Structure 1
Amino acid sequence: MFGFLRRRRRDRIRSRPFPDEWLRVIRRNVPMFGRLPEADRRELLGHVQVFVVEKNYEGCGGLELTEEIRVTIAAAACILLLHRRTDYFPGLITILVYPDAYVAPATTHIGGGILMEGDQIRLGEAWKGGVVVVSWRDLMETAAGRDDGRNLVLHEFAHLLDMEDGAVDGTPVLEGRGRYARWSSVMEHAFERLRRDRALGRYSVLDKYGATDPAEFFAVATEAFFEKAAPLRRRHPELYEELAAFYRQDPARWDRPASLVLVDPEGDEDEVPAVEGPS
């Protein structure tokens, strides 16, 4: 009964006219929106309406929350939900938004069973208790195209998907038991390859932070899947295939702005002419 009522309420929210100002915010702050197929854009806007209504946001470090902040985070996060049955990150309790990088207590393993406690400067994090923390300035760096394929919101909300089964291990809930064996094999192989690349100082389309552990690898791979799709598909075809099956999307086939050229230091440029989006 409660599930039925929740679906009806969400259907009503999605049926409302989408605010013009929200659309301008998304076009300005979420560059990926312009690359999505038209049907995906419509689906995303409906998800944004539900997300903004249902999710709690808190400004931290003196940041005053605005509709722009709420809508920007919602649009970036909900890209992960396209084409998938979703309950809108059900474990999420609140989103903490800082104006810039922030300082958080951290414990670091320095070897020999020794732990070092201290403060650490961070841009974002996701807690198993249902909290996501992001830096607004970093989101604006992504909007301006200055983050070299990183995407903080995709990274942290990928962690939430990973946590939905109660574990933080780089394996989200998959459809069908048969999927887990191949997922594990592909992810483990790509993870070990990234660890070798980091140790040897070799180039990788994947951010080296993904070599930290399997959970961080999944989050980093999610960023690359959406932000560096063509290079990822070329260099890690099996990894790309697994992520495409999970997210039910194929971003390597999306249209890219004419000015965007992805350069692979050890390969060719990927450049695709732009097509105009809806006005």
Structure 2
Amino acid sequence: MGPLLIALVTLLVIGLLVSGPFITERRRRKIRARPFPPAWRAILERRVPYVHRLPADLRRQLEQHIQVFIAEKPFIGCDGQEIDDEVRVTIAAQACLLILNRKPDYFPKLSQVLVYPGAFIVERVRAEPSGILQEERNALSGESWSNGQVVLSWDDTLQGAAVDNDGRNVVIHEFAHQLDQQKGHANGAPYLGNRDRYPRWSQVLSYEFAMLQQRSMSGEPPVLLSYYGATNPAEFFAVASEVFFEQPAAMATLHPALYDELRQLYRVDPVAW
């Protein structure tokens, strides 16, 4: 390959890398400019009462994000689950709460959303301390995989949307994991936008995580944060995200530093809604 040809190929590759994001954003702007379908708005009114809390500007932003999300992310029904607009809009609305007022990259590593009618069985092999491998079968309501898939139970999705003040929402939980996994693995430290923010984030979330673990081992009943969040830092972040959106006033009162860190991350203040 001659020098001229190499230079031309290099310029072509650079051009593709530079123009790719521009073309993607131009396409997304066109989608966001479309009128929000009245049938979709009726689904929001019926299935996602949370949207009634949102100020008008955030609600419009959410509708625009829903349009892009549905245009870009394939939904796949599993075990007989049918996929229709009811499924797409209900899931997309809850997922897109997490990207309001943020750079709308729409969970770039997410390639598909798998939906089961109810809890689905996951088989795993767990190593015992003795070294023996133990097979486990668990019924789950949701999972987020770092290879680009979110798996959801439709029954649990509907329940999480319908009861919007109990601090439990499987879609928010799993898509918080997606934010955490954008860097390749989940460890409870999603991209914060500025590296200077990580020391404070680590200090606050490590302390809150340790306190939740301590309380879970004491045998006392949980207060606000589910003990599932004591499993590891990634689960703590996902559980805290559920509570941030669904029980913001309680979190701001009982865990003000944690609430402030999540407020800065998500760039919204649900207490004010």
Same-fold call, TM > 0.5?
A: yes
Q: Deviations over 1:12-54 (max 9, x none)?
A: 1011111001001112111211111111000000000000000
Q: Alignment partner for residue 169 of structure 2, among 128, 151, 155?
A: 151
**What whole-Å deviation, never above 9, does each CA across 1:142-175 have from its counterpart, x for those lacking one?**
2332883200000000000001112210000112
* Offset of residue 228 of structure 1: 1.1
The answer for unaligned runs of 5 or more in structure 2 is 1-18
> In the comparison of the two structures, how many residue pairs are matched?
254
**In structure 1, distance between residues paired with 2:128 and 2:227:** 19
Q: What TM-score do the two structures reach when normalised by structure 1?
A: 0.88
Q: 2:259 aligns with which of 240, 248, 266?
A: 240
TM-score by length of 2: 0.90
Rg (Cα) greater in structure: 2
2:134 aligned residue (113, 116, 135): 116
- Alpha-carbon shift at residue 252 of structure 1 (Å): 1.4
In structure 2, distance between residues paired with 1:115 and 1:206: 32
Deviates further, 56-65 or 99-108: 99-108
Aligned to 1:139: 157
SS in 2 for 1:88: coil
**What does residue 274 of structure 1 align with?**
none
- Which contiguous aligned blocks of 4+ residues in structure 1 show a shift greater than 3 angstroms? 107-115
**Equivalent pair of 2:141/2:156 in contact (CA under 8 Å):** yes
Alpha-carbon distance between aligned partners in 1 of 2:127 and 2:211, rounded to the nearest angstrom: 23
Q: Percent identity?
A: 48
Q: Is the 8 A contact 2:48 2:162 kept in 1?
A: no
Who is 1:183 aligned against? 201
CA–CA distance in structure 2, aligned partners of residues 115 and 220 of structure 1: 29
1:38 to 41, 56, 60: 56
2:189 maps to 171
1:78 is aligned to 2:102: no
1: CA distance, partners of 2:162 / 2:182: 31
State the one-letter code of the partner of 1:241.
Answer: D
Change in Cα spacing, 1:224 to 1:115, as seen in structure 2 (3 Å) is farther
2:233 pairs with 1:207:
no
Q: CA RMSD in A?
A: 1.4
- Cα distance between partner residues in 1 of 2:130 and 2:165: 35
SS at match of 1:171: coil
Task: Find the aligned partners of 2:195 and 2:126 in 1 and give their Cα distance.
Answer: 35
Letter in 2 for 1:184: S
Aligned to 1:100: 118
Offset, 1:109:
5.3
Separation (CA, whole Å) in 1 of partners of 2:59 and 2:49: 12
**SS at 2:109 equivalent:** coil
User: Judging changes above 3 Å, is the alpha-carbon distance between structure 1 residues 32 and 144 closer, same or farther for their aligned structure 2 residues?
Assistant: closer
CA contact (8 A) 1:28 1:143 kept: no
Q: Deviations over 1:58-106 (max 9, x none)?
A: 0001111111101111111000000001210000011000000011112
